[in-house]
């Protein structure tokens, strides 16, 4: 099963846009080709870092289609879907035809949904295709252990849980409640790999994979080996300074990564509104940070 293969770290590519903010599929293909040279256990196309919500459903399809073609079976490709039950279900159906191996379901647009409506949303997407489902618990889509257990019964396609809350205490309770019915992934950021692996996740999604794949793999390896001394060294030297920059403004988890890519010769490009590009002063700070990354570039 797919859930058994997702051990280690998943690449999380950005979606490059041209200066007029149109989709740059050539740049996407080039970036994914470089990322797929490394031993990731999967690649997530059109996820949060990939600005799924900034694109139209047809654009998301193009991103997944191009990613699948470039990866060419070397590792699973997971496509991001969302918006609402109808649109997400249509996207799921099309992504299955495009060759995706699984779906990452983002929270629906309506943030005041009741519990039953939220579970029905994920279940509807799960029944829309034959693909395994990964739920991304992020932002307002907060789950109790009982809710996750109910959803696992309601949506048989659910195989993977991606945490985006960063609450290790609650996540551990969820994992204990549901057990090995699901694959458990860390998803809030590279800076949280220590608590994630401490409670027993089998992998995590990395935005650093866009710039320094070797660092992402080193973090995952240390986490799986429970070598927390090594994790501390990697986090303090490389990850925490990066996340300090990302925390300067909402949405900078994408903007900063794209600028880092541009500065290293990859193709990040601008972000689409409502996100903002980094300032010239921040670009200089990012360049100084990259000087630290020499061992992993």
Give the structural domain span for 82: 2-225
Length of the chain equals 297
Residue 229: count other Cβ atoms within 10 Å of its Cβ.
Answer: 7
Instruction: Give the DSSP letter string of 42-96.
Output: EEEESSTTTTGGGS-HHHHHHHHHHHHHHHTTSS-EEEEEEESHHHHHHHHHHHH
Segment 196-253, tens digit of pLDDT: 999 999 999 999 999 999 999 999 999 999 999 999 999 999 999 999 999 999 999 9
pLDDT band at 55 (very low <50, low <70, confident <90, very high): very high
Nearest CA-CA partner of 54 in 34, 31, 80: 80
Average pLDDT of 17-34?
A: 98
pLDDT band at 1 (very low <50, low <70, confident <90, very high): confident
Q: Which two structure tokens, joined as six digits, stand for 241? A: 């300074």
Q: What does the pLDDT read at residue 8? A: 98
Look up the pTM and report it: 0.96
79 burial via Cβ count (<10 Å: 0-12, 13-18, 19+): buried
Which residue, chain included where needed, has tokens 């694109």?
55
Q: Is 140 helix (H, G, I), strand (E, B) or coil?
A: coil
Q: Are 264 and 230 in contact (CB under 8 A)?
A: no
For 13, which DSSP code? -
Distance CA 126, CA 72 (A): 25
What does DSSP say about strands 133-137 and 8-11: parallel, antiparallel, or unpaired?
Answer: unpaired
Residues 6+ apart with CB under 8 A from 285: 245
Whether 194 has a pLDDT exceeding 90, the answer reads yes
Domain for residue 258, yes or no?
no
**Domains in the chain, number:** 1
Average pLDDT over the chain, rounded to whole? 97
| Positions marked catalytic | 136, 162
Domain for residue 88, yes or no?
yes
Q: What does the pLDDT read at residue 200? A: 97
For 17, which DSSP code? B
222 burial via Cβ count (<10 Å: 0-12, 13-18, 19+): buried
Domain for residue 15, yes or no?
yes
Residues 6+ apart with CB under 8 A from 154: 119, 122, 123
Domain for residue 270, yes or no?
no
123 Cα distance to chain centroid: 21
Distance CA 24, CA 15 (A): 8
Average pLDDT of 148-177?
A: 98
Domain for residue 23, yes or no?
yes
CATH number at residue 21: 3.20.20.70
Domain for residue 246, yes or no?
no
Domain for residue 233, yes or no?
no
Q: Are 94 and 61 in contact (CB under 8 A)?
A: yes
Domain for residue 276, yes or no?
no
Residues 6+ apart with CB under 8 A from 291: none
For 112, which DSSP code? T
Whether 280 has a pLDDT exceeding 90, the answer reads yes
Q: What does the pLDDT read at residue 166? A: 96
Q: What does the pLDDT read at residue 164? A: 97
What does DSSP say about strands 203-206 and 133-137: parallel, antiparallel, or unpaired?
Answer: unpaired
Q: Are 78 and 46 in contact (CB under 8 A)?
A: no
Segment 57-67, tens digit of pLDDT: 999 999 999 99
pLDDT band at 46 (very low <50, low <70, confident <90, very high): very high
């Amino acid at each position: 099963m797919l859930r058994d293969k997702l051990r280690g770290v998943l690449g999380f590519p950005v979606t490059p846009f041209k200066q007029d903010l149109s989709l740059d599929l050539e740049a996407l293909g080039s970036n994914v080709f470089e990322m797929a040279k490394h031993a990731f256990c999967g690649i997530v196309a059109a996820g949060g870092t990939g600005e799924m919500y900034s694109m139209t459903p047809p654009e998301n399809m193009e991103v997944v289609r191009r990613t699948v073609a470039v990866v060419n079976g070397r590792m699973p490709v997971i496509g991001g879907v969302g918006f609402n039950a109808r649109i997400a279900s249509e996207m799921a159906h099309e992504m299955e035809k495009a060759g995706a191996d699984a779906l990452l379901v983002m929270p629906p647009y309506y943030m005041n949904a009741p519990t039953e409506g939220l579970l029905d949303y994920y279940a509807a997407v799960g029944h829309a295709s034959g693909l395994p489902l990964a739920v991304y618990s992020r932002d307002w889509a907060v789950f109790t252990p009982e809710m996750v257990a109910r959803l696992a019964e309601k949506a048989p396609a659910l195989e993977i849980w991606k945490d985006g809350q960063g609450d290790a205490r609650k996540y551990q309770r969820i994992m204990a409640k549901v057990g090995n019915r699901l694959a458990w992934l860390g998803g809030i950021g590279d800076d949280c790999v220590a608590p994630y692996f401490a409670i027993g996740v089998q992998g995590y999604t990395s935005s650093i994979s866009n710039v320094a794949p070797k660092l992402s793999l080193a973090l995952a390896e240390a986490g799986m080996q429970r070598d927390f001394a090594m994790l501390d060294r990697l986090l303090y030297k490389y990850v925490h300074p990066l996340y300090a920059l990302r925390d300067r403004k909402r949405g900078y988890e994408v903007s900063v990564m794209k600028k880092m890519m541009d500065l290293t010769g990859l193709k990040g490009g601008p972000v689409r509104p409502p996100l903002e590009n980094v300032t010239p002063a921040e670009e200089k700070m990012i360049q100084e940070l990259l000087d630290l990354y020499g061992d992993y570039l």
